[in-house]
Amino acid sequence: MKKIKVAQFGLGPIGLESLRFAAEQPWIEIVGAVDNDPNKYGRSLVELTGLPSLDGLSLCPTLEELFRETQPDVILHTASSRVADTLRQIRPALELGLAVASTCEELIYPALQSPALAKELNTLCLYTKSRLVATGVNPGFVMDLLPICLTGVCRSVDSIRVERVVNASTRRQSLQAKIGSGQDPDEFRIKLATGLAGHAGLRESAALIAHVMGWKPDDITESGEPVVADRDIVTPHFNVRAGRTCGIHQQVAVAEGGCGRIVLDLRMFLDAPEPRDVITVRGRPGLHVVVDGGVAGDDATIAALVNVVPRLVAGPPGLRLLHELTTPAWTGGIL
């Protein structure tokens, strides 16, 4: 099999690890990377990643400059949570007919919040024969794609509930900050209510499930509250005193015709006991699936992003939703 030429867009913690993981795959050839951080510009990818195999490759500030040096087949995009920002960043790649796999949370089901942009993206992809998909662990797998796949053995489905409990003490500094670690609970509650804090993509996950199930939601409601530490908690990144915020509890609910169809319940906080993912499908047959320990967030996001590449390349042009591609699977032995 001919190697797929891949470039990385965004070299934050997830982007760097994505680049490292992609470079390990025998079916991928890394041809470059893009990041507009002036502190990284001009540095070699060997210096940034510690991988000698990337010798001779430097960081570019824009896709346009990257394309003057090389022509990738696929862009791995890990630089934004918003559809509008993502479109602005990746448009040059789509205009050239490339494939883009992104971790943009809103892109999991972009028609929910940005229907006009979703239509624009799909039209552009169809015109240039480019391909675009968003993936990840949450959104992208645990609270949307996995329950959708489980319903494949059901004769009927009445409702779907997913509960995810994450011990955020094991996660990176930026995530611990995002969930409000150490902040005043009342101030963080205001941030949650105004959309300035919290976990992105939960509404998109619910909308994707509803779309695949053929349900027409009357409403998609979301609530969020800080989790307050009942004791002092110390992580490598934060010292959180008792009474301060140590995480979030978010929930999205979908109703159709007055009937509850979907509940997505996410609790992500420092030192959370018994981390787990629980999927309950009420239907025929009913299903109750528990992943003890939960799916490891950062590792799973990186794996999902890289593993989707051959499926995206082999799929039809357009803006793709995850369930429209072939079943995700580990791709380490693809050659």
Q: How many whole angstroms separate alpha carbon 130 and alpha carbon 142?
A: 27
Q: Report the number of secondary-structure helices (H) and strands (E) in the chain.
A: 11, 15
Residue 17: band (very low, low, confident or very high) from pLDDT cuts 50, 70, 90 = very high
In the prediction, which pLDDT does 281 show? 98
In the prediction, which pLDDT does 197 show? 87
Contact 317, 125 (CB under 8 A): yes
Mean pLDDT score, 40-65: 91
Q: Of 42-51, 142-151, 219-228, 306-315, which gets the smallest average pLDDT?
A: 42-51
In the prediction, which pLDDT does 331 show? 83
Q: How many whole angstroms separate alpha carbon 87 and alpha carbon 92?
A: 9
In the chain the first and final C-alpha atoms are separated, in Å, by: 6
Q: Of 74-88, 95-109, 166-180, which gets the smallest average pLDDT?
A: 166-180
Residue 12: band (very low, low, confident or very high) from pLDDT cuts 50, 70, 90 = very high
DSSP state of 326: P
In the prediction, which pLDDT does 335 show? 54
In the prediction, which pLDDT does 2 show? 86
Q: What percent of the chain has pLDDT over 90?
A: 86
Peptide bond into 285 cis (omega under 30): yes
pLDDT digits (tens, 9 = 90+) for 146-205: 999 999 999 999 999 999 999 999 888 888 998 999 999 999 999 998 888 888 999 999
In the prediction, which pLDDT does 194 show? 87
In the prediction, which pLDDT does 195 show? 83
Q: What percent of the chain has pLDDT over 70?
A: 99
In the prediction, which pLDDT does 333 show? 61
Q: How many whole angstroms separate alpha carbon 51 and alpha carbon 129?
A: 33
177 C-beta neighbours (distance < 10 Å), count: 14
Closest listed residue to residue 327, CA positions, set 311, 304, 316: 311
> In Å, what is the CA distance from 209 to each residue of 26, 158, 179, 235, 254?
34, 12, 25, 35, 10
How would DSSP label each residue in 222-282?
EEEEEEEPSS-EE-SS-EE-TTSEEEEEEEEEEEETTEEEEEEEEEEETT-SS-EEEEEEE
Q: How many whole angstroms separate alpha carbon 9 and alpha carbon 59?
A: 10
Q: Is the pLDDT of residue 257 over 60?
A: yes
Q: Is the pLDDT of residue 43 over 90?
A: no
Q: How many whole angstroms separate alpha carbon 99 and alpha carbon 106?
A: 18
Mean pLDDT score, 208-222: 96
How would DSSP label each residue in 40-51?
TTT-BHHHHH--
Residue 1: band (very low, low, confident or very high) from pLDDT cuts 50, 70, 90 = low
pTM over 0.75: yes
Which fold, 145-294? Dihydrodipicolinate Reductase; domain 2 (3.30.360)
Single-letter amino acid, residue 260: G
Q: What is the mean pLDDT of the chain?
A: 94
Going from N- to C-terminal start, the domains of the chain cover: 4-137+299-324, 145-294
Cβ-based neighbours of 164, under 8 Å, separated by 6 or more: 138, 142, 143, 264, 265, 266, 267, 268, 276, 277, 278, 294
Name the superfamily (CATH) of residues 4-137+299-324.
Answer: NAD(P)-binding Rossmann-like Domain (3.40.50.720)
Q: Is the pLDDT of residue 57 over 60?
A: yes
